[in-house]
Amino acid sequence: MGNSLMIQGTGSNVGKSMLVAGLCRALTRRGLRVRPFKPQNMSNNAAVTKDGGEIGRAQALQALACGVLPCVDMNPVLLKPETEVGSQVIVQGKRLTTVAAREYAALKPSLMPAVLESFERLKADADIVLVEGAGSPAEINLRAGDIANMGFADAARVPVILAGDIDRGGVIAQLVGSHAVLPDSDRALIKGFLVNKFRGDPTLFDDGLREIHTRTRWQNFGVAPWFTQANRLPAEDALDIKSAGSGPLKIAVLMLSRIANFDDFDPLKLEPSVTLTMVKAGEPIPGDTSLVIIPGTKSTIGDLGFLRQQGWDIDLQAHLRRGGHVLGICGGYQMLGQTIADPEGIEGAPSKINGLGLLDVHTVMTPEKHLVQVTGVDPASGTSVTGYEIHIGNTTGTDCTQPMLEIDNKPEGAQSGLVSGCYIHGLFVSDPYRAAFLNTFGAASSVTYSSEIETVLDNLADHLEKYLDVEGMIALARKGL
């Protein structure tokens, strides 16, 4: 069928999202109409599309690399973990249901028509569709009903390049072992391999490349060295979130167990005037922090309990007594209030619990999810604000009469003294707002965030062009199976 290519990986976090983003930019710069696609993603870091759907953040970044707006067809199935064993299922941008892992195994075959429908729509509008796999095709225990890796590649007849991660060690075993366990029909879909995240002199691995080729007969598409600027792009996996910076303004973000939309803080990481500390479970909030941010979460009530288990509620009280500020975003905003009620049991059993009591507001969880891109103004500075909402629940109360923002000519959020909160994600992407926000703490902004991301994407494309056989990948996509 041609005009598509799939990058699968020997495991999670081998760099598939980064590889696809870089290839999207490289091929787009050649004048090709490129579209990214991931049949199934699992992430609580979601992006809101212009038409009010949600997709994985990685696909939104890949769309940016292509120079196009993200759409729900780029990630037709998104799983958002709510507990250790259950996830919310988003299909073509909208919530379908919440299921346990075992239930999803039975559900996923029925999702293939929607996956193929979205893929065909993208193909109709593209010269090449670059597809990203999920996890590893070598997890053959998950092969039945698969829509994320070989199940999709077979149904859509898309050739596959398998990427291994040399940084974690054992890359020969990763690739040759995948070849060994795959059934013949799936193995035939893989037309080549590449090695990612190499450190040092790549020629030292020449013998390893020959061994992989000899044992698999797959074409070698190259060895990509470690891309040092990768941490400047939005991360999709919470495991990749790290502290950053060494500036005088100390900002701490609480690493909730179901932290969501954590790319909210990426622009702050790049500011030379900021030290951003991601406070992990078991760690206290640093005493020299000027601002503590309680981020979004996929499970507000559950993560409020997690916050208290860490003793962070006590730390927050001490932080405020020292004159520190607190900001809550989305679920973090809900936690700041007096009560959180879930009468319909959306997050578990029906319940009503006390919040942190730092704002005089009350939240009631409702089934309807707010999914919308927004624009507005910061009343304090008069600067423009852009962002998006992606939440359930409505928050009202006395402190809402002192809104943090004005969004679409309506008050948004609440403030009281040193504590503020709102539902708007992506606030700090807006350069004017971020500069005004930092200025309230006596810190300066010196970053143009959108330009920074564009530069890194260009550098990533240059990196892959230098080390990988990009021309060979284009030829394979056009040839098909």
Catalytic residue among 24, 330, 400, 422: 330
Query: How is residue 181 written in tokens?
Result: 């366990």
Cα 454 to chain centroid, rounded: 17
Do 352 and 393 contact (CB within 8 A), yes or no? no
Long-range contacts of 181-187 (CB under 8 A, 24+ apart): 181/138, 181/140, 182/137, 182/138, 182/140, 182/150, 183/140, 183/143, 185/154, 186/137, 186/143, 186/150, 186/153, 186/154
Per-residue burial over 215-235, b = 16 or more CB atoms within 10 Å of its CB, e = otherwise: ebebbbbbbbbebeebebbbb
Dmax over Cα atoms in the chain, in whole Å?
Answer: 71
Give one DSSP letter per residue of 344-401, joined into a string: T-TTSS-EEEE---SSS-EEEEEEEEEEEEEEEE-TTT--EEEEEEEEEEEEESGGGG
Catalytic residue among 179, 391, 425, 463: 425
The question of whether 425 is a catalytic residue gets the answer yes
Give the chain's end-to-end CA distance (angstroms, integer). 7
* Catalytic residue set: 330, 425
